[in-house]
């Protein structure tokens, strides 16, 4: 096996992926990757546009003899999710990703890899660079801020794109072709922070839950993985009942579209309860291991004495917060009645963070049924209204309605069968794709989404399967070679 990315084939695609790993590109901070793409276009004498939202569009004329084919849009997003392990020193706005090869996988070192959607960008650049790959007229659309708000797709103007066939390169299971996706929205609850001085004769503990698998809040929501927010709240809720535990700090979960992997809290208990509290913490850890040993084999739950804080939450606020988090739903809410093993509706309890003046609880809802998306969002909102929080909901983004009669789908299925001698799966995905928004802005856009196998997306366990990446490349080239005539 090769020991560096540039030893892998096809060399051009892997070379570009290695370069992309060098360019910091967390969501909402895409200036460096946008400039990289514009410099690429200038170097290769290709037309390029930076729109007012921050999206980049690069156009390339057809390969000789393919001028009469329909224009195809290759679409991927510029940003990546920035997640790192506790203790890992990494600034996603400044530091490069450190990829490494481990068997058949490309992984990062202690952080997300950014194969979502960096490998789509890399494949596109390798095609745009080549003078030997047959293709129709191409438009390469690189959108900004897909991961945290679909900002780039929301900001597209109806006159930017000329093509009406789009291949989205943001899927993560080779052998599966996606023709539909869920829509989503966020529900955010805010409590005003209220604190008071410590009672007499207290001692403090730092409590942490770490090393959960985490993952994508769409793709992985029904896989039974632990949620650091729910686990930490369960511990604190029971500690408050049994030992009159008081919360000084709480920080669990991170990104709205990721499963909460880590949680940290500082709690204060009466000094005379130390021995039974430590026994409770030990038993709680054993319970977690028993419940989650299949899906969370590496979980760590640690409680250790620490210095006393200056204040704790008031009892009234603590009770409202812990009750609301305990009652807040998390996971798959409904399965599709039409597509086997397909999550129709879900909600993700993404994070809770106590700040100096407010406590912010972030949740996100997804559904392929618009009315169900609204319903589950309102259910979560009503819960936090009852707890006395201020609740805000985003406008959300639409789903992508499947079109089984799609021309680009038929072509892609035929290419897959010819190349690999097997039928691909044709599916909808519970994750959000930009195709829903693009289809709303460009009615009649014919779309399909496919990609290589990426596991652990949105977590430091993210890894890209090398053999399926080669298949992804071969499929993309064959589809472009066989695109229909105008």
* pLDDT under 70: residue ranges of the chain: 1-3
| H/E run at residue 359 | strand 358-367
For 177, half-sphere exposure in the C-beta direction (CA atoms, 13 angstrom radius) is: 25
**Would you call 147 helix, strand, or coil by DSSP?**
helix
Judge residue 294's burial from the number of C-beta atoms within 10 Å of its C-beta, 0-12 exposed, 13-18 middle, 19 or more buried.
exposed
Q: What share of the chain is helix, strand, coil (3-state, %, to 5)?
A: 30, 30, 40
Nearest to 75 by CA among 53, 58, 61, 60: 58
The model's pTM: 0.75
Residue partners of 453: CB distance under 8 A and separation at least 6:
172, 173, 174, 464, 465, 468
Residue 170 contacts residue 449 (beta carbons within 8 Å): yes
Q: Is 79 a catalytic residue?
A: yes
435 DSSP 8-state letter: H
Furthest CA-CA distance within the chain:
84
- Domains, in order of start, for the chain: 5-182+399-481 (3.40.630.10), 185-393 (3.30.70.360)
Q: How many alpha carbons fall within 13 Å on the CB side of residue 417?
A: 9
Report helix angle 407-420 to 466-481, nearest 10: 120
> What would the pLDDT profile of 355-388 be if each residue is shown by its tens digit?
999 999 999 999 988 899 999 999 999 999 999 9
Q: 423, exposed or middle or buried, with CB in 10 Å at 0-12, 13-18, 19+?
A: exposed
Among the listed residues 19, 146, 186, 461, the single catalytic one is: 146
| Distance (Å, whole) CA 119 – CA 111 | 16
Nearest to 348 by CA among 429, 430, 237: 430
Neighbouring residues of 371: CB distance < 8 A, sequence distance ≥ 6? none
C-alpha span between 356 and 195 (Å, rounded) = 10
Q: Which of 177, 121, 28, 143 is nearest to 438 (CA)?
A: 143
- Non-local CB neighbours of 125 within 8 Å, separated by 6+ positions: 16, 37, 40, 140
Which of 79, 83, 116, 186 is the catalytic position? 79
**Dist CA 374 CA 393 (whole Å):** 10
Assess contact for 407 and 179: CB atoms under 8 A: no
Distance CA 20, CA 11 (A): 14
pLDDT at 369: 87
The confidence score (pLDDT) of residue 3 equals 59
Residue whose tokens read 């609301």 = 324
- Whether residue 151 contacts residue 86, with contact meaning beta carbons closer than 8 Å, is answered with no
CB 194 within 8 A of CB 314: yes
- Residue 286: CB atoms within 10 A of its CB come to 11
306: which residues sit within 8 A by CB, 6+ positions away? 204, 205, 206, 266
Q: What is the sign of the dihedral through the CA atoms of 250, 459, 79 and 173?
A: negative
Locus of tokens 């609740």:
391
For residues 109 and 34, what is the distance between their CA atoms, to the nearest angstrom? 24
Distance CA 312, CA 198 (A): 6
What pLDDT, on a 0 to 100 scale, did the predictor assign at position 94? 97
Q: CA 132, CA 420: separation in Å to the nearest integer? A: 23
| Residue whose entry in the numeric block shows the structure tokens 């080779």 | 174
Predicted local confidence at residue 1, as pLDDT: 33
At which residue do the structure tokens 């991170």 appear? Answer: 254
**Catalytic annotation on 132?**
no
Would you call 291 helix, strand, or coil by DSSP? helix
Please choose, from the candidates 44, 56, 45, 172, the residue with its C-alpha nearest in 3D space to the C-alpha of residue 120.
172
Return d(Cα 486, Cα 474) in angstroms, integer. 24
Do the Cβ atoms of 407 and 165 come closer than 8 Å? yes
Please give the Cα distance from 13 to 261 (Å, whole number).
32
CA distance 236 to 229: 11
Rounded distance between C-alpha atoms, residue 299 and residue 181, angstroms: 31
């Amino acid at each position: 096996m090769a020991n560096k990315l540039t030893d892998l084939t096809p060399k051009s695609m892997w070379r570009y992926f290695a370069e992309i790993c060098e360019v910091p590109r967390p969501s909402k901070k895409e200036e460096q990757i946008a400039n990289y793409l514009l410099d690429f276009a200038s170097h290769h004498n290709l037309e390029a546009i930076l729109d007012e939202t921050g999206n980049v569009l690069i156009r390339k004329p057809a390969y000789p003899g393919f001028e009469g084919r329909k224009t195809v849009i290759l679409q991927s997003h510029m940003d990546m999710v920035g997640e790192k392990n506790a203790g890992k020193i990494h600034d996603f706005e400044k530091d490069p990703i450190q990829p490494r090869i481990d068997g058949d996988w490309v992984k990062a070192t202690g952080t997300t890899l950014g194969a979502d959607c960096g490998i789509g960008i890399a494949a596109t650049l390798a095609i745009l660079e080549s003078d030997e790959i047959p293709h129709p007229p191409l438009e390469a659309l690189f959108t900004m801020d897909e991961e945290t708000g679909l900002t780039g797709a929301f900001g597209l103007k109806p006159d930017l794109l000329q093509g009406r066939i789009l291949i989205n390169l943001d899927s993560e299971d080779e052998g599966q072709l996606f023709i539909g996706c869920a829509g989503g929205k966020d529900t955010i609850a805010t409590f005003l922070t209220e604190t008071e001085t410590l009672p007499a004769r207290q001692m403090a503990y730092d409590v942490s839950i770490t090393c959960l698998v985490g993952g994508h809040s769409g793709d992985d929501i029904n896989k039974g993985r632990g949620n650091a927010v729910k686990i930490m709240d369960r511990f604190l809720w029971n500690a408050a009942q049994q030992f009159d535990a008081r919360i000084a700090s709480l920080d669990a979960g991170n990104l709205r579209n990721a499963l909460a992997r880590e949680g940290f809290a500082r709690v204060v208990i009466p000094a005379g309860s130390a021995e039974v509290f430590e026994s409770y913490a030990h038993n709680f850890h054993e319970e977690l291991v028993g419940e989650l040993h299949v899906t969370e084999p590496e979980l760590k739950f640690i409680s250790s004495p620490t210095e006393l804080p200056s204040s704790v939450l008031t009892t009234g606020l603590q009770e409202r917060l812990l009750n609301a988090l305990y009652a807040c739903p998390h996971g798959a809410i409904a399965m599709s009645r039409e597509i086997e093993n397909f999550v129709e509706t879900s909600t993700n309890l993404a994070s809770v963070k106590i700040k100096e003046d407010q406590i912010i609880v972030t949740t996100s809802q997804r559904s392929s049924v618009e009315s169900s998306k609204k319903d589950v969002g309102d259910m979560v909102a009503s819960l936090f209204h009852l707890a006395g929080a201020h609740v805000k909901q985003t406008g959300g983004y639409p789903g992508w309605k499947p079109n089984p009669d799609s021309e680009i789908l038929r072509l892609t299925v035929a290419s897959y069968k010819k190349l690999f001698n097997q039928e691909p799966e044709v599916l909808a995905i519970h994750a959000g794709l930009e195709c829903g928004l693009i289809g709303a802005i460009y009615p009649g856009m014919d779309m399909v989404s496919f990609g290589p196998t990426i596991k652990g997306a949105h977590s430091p366990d993210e890894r890209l399967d090398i053999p399926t990446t080669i298949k992804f490349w071969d499929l993309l080239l064959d589809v472009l070679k066989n695109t229909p005539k105008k």
